[in-house]
Amino acid sequence: DTEVTQTPKHLVMGMTNKKSLKCEQHMGHRAMYWYKQKAKKPPELMFVYSYEKLSINESVPSRFSPECPNSSLLNLHLHALQPEDSALYLCASSQAKGLALPPGTDTQYFGPGTRLTVL
């Protein structure tokens, strides 16, 4: 099973709302990622979790709050977003670094994304 799932598929929220995006994988990957993707642009890395600990935060505004409750689940909590935050939010997972892993284990597997619209 090489599937990463994301819910919801679409989300519309007002600037005062609080919502959460969810990502799940059952491939035994211990690294999970959040990306933001604007239309016709490449994905931009937001956060990386490794072994359920925040490893990378690419200077993302605090209105985005990630959470990794367990090795299979990754959440992105949203609060007081701005219209410019409207985008496709992609989750990905991969094997974690620091292990004697065979080639190919650095590959990221992506979910289908959540299309977020902030009004």
Partner 1 sequence: AQTVTQSQPEMSVQEAETVTLSCTYDTSESNYYLFWYKQPPSRQMILVIRQEAYKQQNATENRFSVNFQKAAKSFSLKISDSQLGDTAMYFCAFMFGTYKYIFGTGTRLKVLA
Q: In the complex, what is the shortest distance from the CB of residue 11 to partner 1, in angstroms, rounded to a whole number?
A: 15
> What track of x and - describes contact with partner 1 for positions 76 through 95 (by CB under 8 A)?
------------x-x-x-x-
Q: Which residues, at least 6 apart from 90, have a Cβ–Cβ distance to it below 8 Å?
A: 6, 34, 35, 36, 37, 43, 110, 111, 113
Q: In what order do the strands lie in the sheet with 73-79?
A: 4-7, 18-25, 73-79, 64-70
CB nearer to partner 1: pick between 77 and 97: 97
CB 93 within 8 A of CB 5: no
Residues in contact with partner 1, shown as a per-residue x/- string from 50 to 79 under the rule CB under 8 A: x----xx-----------------------
Tokens representing residue 103 in the block: 């080639």
Least separation in angstroms between CB 65 and partner 1: 19
110 binds partner 1, rule: CB under 8 A: yes
Choose between 66 and 113: whose C-beta lies nearer to partner 1.
Answer: 113
Going residue by residue from 10 to 49, which x/- string records binding to partner 1, judged by CB under 8 A?
---------------------x-x------xxxx-x--x-
C-beta of 81 vs 114, nearer to partner 1: 114
Segment 37-42 long-range contacts (CB within 8 Å, at least 24 positions apart):
37/87, 37/88, 37/89, 37/90, 37/113, 38/87, 38/88, 39/87, 39/88
